């Protein structure tokens, strides 16, 4: 929940996107703003007749630099000067701060603080959740029935099952693909499938061979 200390605020409706804190400050902005994201409480200006203002998007990168309208600001003083100039032109503009998946939360708060010091009163910020990169595990079934897992050969079936289970638990979205020569015995393939089931893996890509002409 956002923790704010300011006057003239009241709760708005809860129809907001997840992981978003919307801060509205009437009058003089405070020197510091502290916020934690989940769950978010939303606040808006009590003057219902205000016309909707334009929006400025600030993209906060992992290194703390900020991009506004294609221009990147690495220096905090330059960023503040730019924001102050924009605020003097139109203080009612909505500021939306977007963080990359790996952007530290404190960097988001620092940018939020710079916006309020520049004179903006309607500021929101959100972070994009990290999406795990897809993982493909290749199982090479050899003619003797042994299996290479991403090029490494487990010493036993027990070790193979343990390795497959660990890979599956580390990344539940991992894809497992079996490769083999066309003349590998069917019994070896069935044994490998049993080991995959023991490891809790329910989906696997089987080798595809050309149909005989």
CATH code for the domain in which residue 54 is found: 3.30.420.270
Q: Of 14 and 91, which is predicted with more confidence?
A: 91
What is the pLDDT at residue 127? 62
Q: Are strands 43-44 and 20-24 parallel, antiparallel or unpaired?
A: unpaired
Question: What is the percentage of the chain residues whose pLDDT exceeds 70?
Answer: 69
The segment with the largest mean pLDDT, out of 10-14, 100-104, 107-111, is 107-111
What is the pLDDT at residue 12? 37
* The pLDDT of residue 143 is above 90: yes
Q: Confidence band (pLDDT; 50, 70, 90) for 106?
A: confident
Number of domains in the chain: 2
Same domain? 23 vs 122:
yes
Q: Residue for token digits 């006057």? A: 7
Average pLDDT (135-149) is 93
Average pLDDT (9-21) is 40
Same domain? 116 vs 43:
yes
Q: Phi-psi bin for 44: left (phi > 0), alpha (psi -120 to 50), beta? A: beta
Nearest-Å Rg of the Cα atoms of the chain is 27
* The pLDDT of residue 146 is above 90: yes
Task: Retrieve residue 133's tokens.
Answer: 């990169």
Per-residue pLDDT tens for 152-199?
999 999 999 999 999 888 887 788 999 998 899 999 999 999 999 999
Same domain? 101 vs 188:
no
Domain assignment present for 85 = yes
Same domain? 44 vs 96:
yes
Q: Residue for token digits 């703003």? A: 33
Range of the structural domain that residue 143 is part of: 136-198
Same domain? 120 vs 146:
no
Buried b (16+ CB within 10 A) or exposed e, 98-131: bbbeebeeebbbbbbbbbbbbebbbbbbbbeeee
What is the pLDDT at residue 100? 82
Q: What is the pTM of this model?
A: 0.41
Per-residue pLDDT tens for 29-84?
444 444 444 333 333 343 434 444 578 999 999 899 999 998 999 999 999 999 99
Average pLDDT (197-211) is 80
């Amino acid at each position: 929940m956002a923790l704010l200390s300011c006057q003239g605020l009241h709760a708005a409706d809860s129809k907001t996107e997840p992981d978003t804190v919307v801060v509205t400050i009437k009058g003089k902005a405070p020197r510091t703003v502290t916020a934690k994201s989940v769950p978010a409480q939303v606040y808006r200006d009590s003057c219902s007749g205000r016309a909707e203002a334009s929006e400025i998007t600030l993209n906060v990168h992992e290194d703390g630099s900020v991009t506004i309208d294609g221009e990147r600001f690495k220096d905090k003083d330059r960023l503040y000067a730019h924001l102050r100039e924009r605020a003097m032109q139109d203080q009612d503009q909505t500021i939306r701060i977007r963080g990359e998946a790996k952007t530290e939360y404190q960097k988001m708060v620092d940018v939020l603080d710079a916006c309020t010091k520049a004179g903006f009163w309607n500021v929101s910020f959100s972070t994009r959740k990290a999406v795990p990169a897809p993982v493909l595990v290749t199982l090479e079934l050899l003619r003797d029935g042994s299996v290479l897992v991403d090029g490494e050969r487990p010493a036993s079936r027990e070790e193979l099952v343990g390795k497959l289970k660990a890979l599956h638990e580390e990344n539940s979205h991992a894809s497992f693909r079996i490769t083999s020569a066309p003349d590998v015995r069917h019994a070896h393939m069935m044994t490998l499938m049993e080991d995959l089931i023991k490891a809790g893996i329910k989906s696997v890509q089987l080798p595809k061979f050309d149909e005989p002409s």
